[in-house]
Amino acid sequence: MRTLSRLAIFLFLFLAACPKRVTVNGQVMSEEAASAEATREVERARADSAKQTPVESAERFEAIAVRFGDLPASADALYEAGVRWRAAGQPARARAALSRLLTRMPLSPRAAQAKYQLAIAETDAGRPRDALASLTSLYGKLPAPERPQAAREAARAAEAAHLWPHAARWRGEAARLTEGEDGARELAKAIDLVDGQLTFAEVASLKEALPPDSPLLPAVTMKLARVQLHLHDEVAAERSAREVAERWPGSPYAQDARALVDRLARRAQVNPRAIGVAVPLSGKQKPWGEAIMQGVALALGDGDGFKVVVKDTRGEPEAAQAALEELAQAEGVIAALGGVVNAEAPRAAGAAQGLGLPFISLARIEGVTQAGTFVFRNMLTAEAQAKALVELAMARRGMRSFALLYPQIPYGQELATSFWDEVDARGGEVRAAESYDHDRTTFAPLVKSMVGKLWLDERQDYLDQVKDLVKEEKDPYRRRKAIERLRERLPPVTDFDAIFIPDFAKNVALVAPALAVEDVVTQTCDPKEVERIRKVTGRENLKTVQLLGGNGWDDPALVEKAGKYVECAIFVDGFFPGSERTDTKAFASAFQAKYGRAPSILDASAYDAARMIRSVLETGATTRDAVRDQLSTLKDFAGATGTLSFDARREIAKPLFYLTVDKGTLRELTPRELAAPGAGGG
């Protein structure tokens, strides 16, 4: 028994001492010889790769891996194949080669590099989240020289996955490890992500995650300060800004940080009786500024204990921002109004919001109150006009279908869009829409197109009548004349109840007669005139069409130039000095007495804005936050422009003035006329 055991041990040792044999291409050889051959094959493939396409080279390396099985050199071959498949733009093939390496030879010296290349291939293959997870796990194990590129690849994966905080962190890491212009470019990308993609919570988290020596920290901390200021956490904003100024005094953000610290220190110094006005007092819009100042002066009086501080915006964005900053910081006003010019309005609103200064904008431009909770608006907008017109037309007059004729200018386009949206929202229909250049002088083709008189060959009623004439009239000359008469007396196709023309009086005076020429009857409020037209034209089924307009129609020149062609038209405005409303009439009378002229909507809106601020201050509000809060809840304020309230968006909500042309004069429709069914005034 002992002899057998000794024999078994001897045989085991003998066999172990024998070199391991492998089969390569059907040839049996020692593992050592096979490994040497495999290594030579890999080296030759590397040497030849410069002469081959990436695809040819990758296929050659994969063939080597297949031929030599699990020998160590196969790992090198699969790794090289994966790299070249990536270079060939075939990430799926790269993933397959690298995954095979890691599955068959997980302990290979090539495994770490293969994992890195596999992660990059995952991004290219549309699996960026998997790539980011792998790169994050591998990053600490990579040699220092490889980390800058690895950080860039991690950032690329995060950006592809829209994981913006991770993208910013990895761009910052790449910037930290990269010198010169390349590092500056990485830092700029990181800053763009912080400024444009990250939420407040993400900015705060990123600040905590960055290493102390990250070049991204000053930008992140300053961004955090601005967000905290926007959220009115002034203590935290001051702390963050001070950190930037003291910890990174040489950074590009240090000056802004110091300015913010100073601004917050001055913000506490508020004069509760000082009201700011930021308007153009020079330049083309100077008359606007002067009109606003007259309205403010009438609202606040001369000896009522209020201090009015005025700053010139010149109608320019930069000057408007500077004016608001000076009013809030140097003058300590408790609230302000202005920002009337569309070009300056967004910058003025943004500055007021950043300063925490209650601000009533007098601009028409849409979206101005989106700057934040400190910004209000008291001015007529396209949306308000559209809502008022459609409410009258559809809810009160029962109209369902409309046509649009509008100029290709912002005023016309905004009003037309708002009107169309409101009609859609109420279940109505816009059946015709024509636009035109603002300087157009001939409107006949547009009107013909709108009422079906331009392309007669598309009208079946016309074709049927022509067909009858051809049968009845054999003489070519008489037939031609008969067809001409048919064209002249062919009625318009008015498959709409009203035409909305959001333009100014100058163009309306050209459009309205063009409608009449094409037999579109718009005298909706004059039954006698309608009956006369019915008899003259012989159109028993004569249909009238209501003309609708915006505040651009509120101009004496409309009646002077358009005359009877705009009789019965209805349009809206945010103010009408001839109104019989009690508060409007009292304001118009006082303004006329003080300044010797009739007030405009700008005068009246400035007057109302100043009085709203005054009313809040007279209740005892002594802080900007208190003024903001009370303006937000202001309801049913009796103003010159109507009964005023601020809605949830801090836009003014009020009943507009419905105006009409009646016997050659402009007047306001009465409440009885507005409540009654039917069309027009009269």
- Alpha carbon 659 to chain centroid, angstroms: 34
Residue with tokens 């002249």: 488
Domain count, the chain: 1
Structural domain includes residue 397: yes
Contact 317, 340 (CB under 8 A): no
Backbone phi, psi, residue 309, to 5°: -110, 125
What is the pLDDT, as a whole number, of residue 677? 61
What is the pLDDT, as a whole number, of residue 17? 43
- Amino acid identity of residue 255, one-letter, is Q
What is the pLDDT, as a whole number, of residue 499? 96
Structural domain includes residue 640: no
- Alpha carbon 297 to chain centroid, angstroms: 37
Q: Which of 364, 408, 360 lies closest to 384, judged by CA?
A: 364
Q: Which of 132, 204, 216 lies closest to 173, judged by CA?
A: 216
Task: State both tokens at 498.
Answer: 């009203």
Structural domain includes residue 540: yes
Contact 635, 645 (CB under 8 A): yes
Contact 299, 607 (CB under 8 A): yes
The ranges of the chain with pLDDT < 50 are 1, 4, 7-18, 679-682
What is the pLDDT, as a whole number, of residue 10? 43
* Cβ-proximal residues to 129 (8 Å cutoff; 6+ apart), any chain: 157, 161, 163
Backbone phi, psi, residue 656, to 5°: -80, 175
Structural domain includes residue 260: no
Structural domain includes residue 501: yes
Beta strand pairing call for 570-573 and 657-662: antiparallel
Contact 296, 277 (CB under 8 A): yes
Contact 206, 194 (CB under 8 A): yes
Compute the distance between CA of residue 566 and CA of residue 428 in angstroms, rounded to an integer: 24
Compute the distance between CA of residue 448 and CA of residue 437 in angstroms, rounded to an integer: 17
Structural domain includes residue 345: no
Compute the distance between CA of residue 40 and CA of residue 188 in angstroms, rounded to an integer: 46
pTM higher than 0.75: no
Q: Which long-range contacts (CB under 8 A, 24 or more apart) does 119-124 make?
A: 119/153, 119/157, 120/86, 120/153, 121/82, 121/85, 121/86, 121/91, 121/94, 121/95, 122/91, 122/95, 122/157, 123/91, 123/153, 123/156, 123/157, 123/160, 124/86, 124/89, 124/91, 124/94
Q: Give the CA diameter of the chain.
A: 138
Contact 379, 646 (CB under 8 A): no
- Alpha carbon 362 to chain centroid, angstroms: 21
Q: For residue 404, give the CATH number of its domain.
A: 3.40.50.2300
What is the pLDDT, as a whole number, of residue 430? 96
Task: State both tokens at 9.
Answer: 């041990």
What is the pLDDT, as a whole number, of residue 482? 65
Beta bridge partners of 670: none
Backbone phi, psi, residue 22, to 5°: -130, 160
* Cβ-proximal residues to 303 (8 Å cutoff; 6+ apart), any chain: none
- Identify the three-state secondary structure at position 198: coil
Contact 365, 342 (CB under 8 A): yes
**Domain range for 395:** 383-453+490-573
Compute the distance between CA of residue 591 and CA of residue 573 in angstroms, rounded to an integer: 19
- Amino acid identity of residue 673, one-letter, is E
- Amino acid identity of residue 284, one-letter, is K
Structural domain includes residue 102: no
What is the pLDDT, as a whole number, of residue 13? 42
